[in-house]
Amino acid sequence: MVKYLRIGAVIVLFIGMFILLASLTTLCSGQETKTAYTRDGIQYISKERVDENIRYEYAKPGDYREVQVPLNTIVVGASAIPENISQPEEKEDTAIAEKSSSASNQTASSAPENRYPYAPIFIGLMVIGGLIFLVASVFSGRDRQ
């Protein structure tokens, strides 16, 4: 009878650890994000601002990479630079061609970065700690018999 209670306790412990780990992963991955563009990983700008910087030759296509940032991150939007009507059409055509090539480069490098680099380590340590606790509880029960 005591042996069945221990087996039941072990099963309940595993189910409890599974529920705990599942709830931790949903809490960590539930953060909402928005898309921004950055050169250095510190300052973030919008897609419109990237297009303006390329159009006015402040940056080259491919200088910015697309990243996902939390909603409370400040992202600089488009500026109020008026369109220059006297700009030659050749530069506009070049900017459009460069924009399409940079868009294909950005989609290739838009893989989500590790937002939580230590999460797998933490989860692994929790599982190992749970297993140590389980083994210790089983062996401590054997000594009492």
Distance CA 13, CA 42 (A): 43
68 and 124 in a single domain? The answer is: no
Q: Are residues 110 and 124 in the same domain?
A: no
Using DSSP bridges, classify how beta strands 65-70 and 33-38 pair: parallel, antiparallel or unpaired. antiparallel
Q: Could you give the number of structural domains in the chain? A: 2
pLDDT of residue 37: 93
Per residue in 51-66, pLDDT tens?
988 988 888 888 999 9
- Work out the number of other CB atoms within 10 angstroms of the CB of residue 35: 13
Q: Are residues 58 and 20 in the same domain?
A: no
Helix (H, G, I), strand (E, B) or coil at 103: helix
pLDDT, mean of residues 83-109: 52
Q: Is the pLDDT of residue 121 over 60?
A: yes
3-38 pLDDT, tens digit per residue, is 677 777 778 888 888 777 777 665 665 567 889 999
Mean residue pLDDT of the chain comes to 74
Domain ranges, residue 133: 1-30+116-145
Say whether pLDDT at 145 is over 60. no
State whether 56 and 94 are in the same domain: yes
Q: How far is CA 82 from the centre of its chain?
A: 36
Closest among 44, 43, 52 to 78, alpha carbons compared: 52
Comparing CA positions, the residue from 71, 24, 80 lying closest to residue 52 is 80
Same domain, 60 and 86: yes
